[in-house]
Each structure stands twice: as structure tokens, then as C-alpha cells.
């Protein structure tokens, strides 16, 4: 302990060196204006700040373009789609795609509000689209593929028209 007291006494008696107060004040009061370095790093920061919004805008444009193309592709009617098809299996697959999309559409309308009365329209959709035995399997084997395709086109076109009318009706109820 005596050693600590001795050190305190020595330090208390010592005077700061000549000009110490002026050096302290220079460090305590720096110039008011702060100078930033102007070099390449500032340009890099600028490009980073500009590049992200530009890239996001380009992605938004491409995304909107893709969405518009998808919506335009869906506007082609079922009859136009199957008119070029010659294989009966392709026509049946196209019909089943419409049925699947219709169930998904009705489900999307009832997903957030199952009490809105739309759920009973699932039974109507099922009665329109359900086939216990697909027509394709019932057609006689003596028929050519072209004749089968024509019969299926006509039969499924009528069903799809009914499904579309049901979808429009349900959408009018919800909205």
C-alpha cells in the first residue's frame, strides 16, 4: 500500500509538459468541416444503390410479361384447343385438365369463406363432369380414330360449356 501512496504523491506533484494544454485543445476541438475521401469506393456504392432497383424493375417487367402470356394462353377456348387434336386420348386429357382447373377455381372461391354457399356448387360441377365410364372406352372399336375424336370433341365441348357457365355463375355470387 505504501508503494501506491508514493506513486500518487509523485504523480500529483508532476506538472504536465510545456504546451500540453494546447495539444489537448487541438485534439479536443477538431476542425468543423469533415473531409471525406473521394475515391473509387463512392462510385461502387452508387452503382450498388442503382443496380438493385434497376434489376428489380427488369424482373417485374419480365414477370408481368409472363403473366400476360399465361392469361392470354388461358383465353383460348376448349373447342379451339381440341379442334386441332386428332388423338382421342389427347382430347380426353384436355377435358380432364378443364375439370381439374374448375375444381381448383371453385375451391379458391370457397377456401377463405366456406359458409358462403358456394360449396354446394361442387355437387353441380361433379354431376356435369363425372363419368363412371369415360365415353372414350364405350365407343365401338370399329370406329376410326378420326370418328372417335369428332364424337369426343362434340360431347366434351357441351360439357365444358356447362362448366364455364357454372363458373361464371359462382363467380357472380361471390363477387
Residues of the chain with pLDDT > 90, as a percent, come to 0
Query: pTM, whole model, 2 decimals?
Result: 0.53
Per residue in 47-88, pLDDT tens? 667 777 888 888 878 776 666 655 544 555 777 788 788 888
Residue with cell 369428332: 150
Does position 117 have pLDDT exceeding 80, yes or no? no
In the chain, where are the structural domains located?
A: 37-75, 77-174
Amino acid at each position: 500500500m505504501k508503494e501506491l501512496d508514493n506513486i500518487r504523491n509523485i504523480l500529483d506533484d508532476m506538472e504536465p509538459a510545456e504546451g500540453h494544454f494546447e495539444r489537448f485543445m487541438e485534439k479536443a476541438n477538431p476542425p468543423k468541416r469533415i473531409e471525406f475521401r473521394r475515391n473509387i469506393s463512392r462510385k461502387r456504392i452508387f452503382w450498388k444503390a442503382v443496380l438493385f432497383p434497376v434489376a428489380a424493375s427488369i424482373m417485374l417487367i419480365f414477370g408481368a410479361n409472363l403473366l400476360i402470356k399465361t392469361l392470354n394462353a388461358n383465353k383460348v377456348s376448349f373447342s379451339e384447343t381440341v379442334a386441332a387434336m386428332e388423338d382421342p386420348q389427347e382430347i380426353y386429357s384436355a377435358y380432364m385438365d378443364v375439370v381439374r382447373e374448375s375444381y381448383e377455381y371453385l375451391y379458391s372461391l370457397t377456401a377463405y369463406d366456406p359458409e358462403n354457399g358456394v360449396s354446394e356448387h361442387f355437387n353441380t360441377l361433379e354431376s356435369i363432369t363425372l363419368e363412371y365410364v369415360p365415353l372414350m372406352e364405350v365407343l365401338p372399336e370399329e370406329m376410326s380414330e378420326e370418328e372417335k375424336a369428332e364424337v369426343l370433341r362434340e360431347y366434351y365441348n357441351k360439357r365444358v360449356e356447362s362448366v364455364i357457365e357454372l363458373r361464371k355463375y359462382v363467380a357472380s355470387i361471390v363477387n
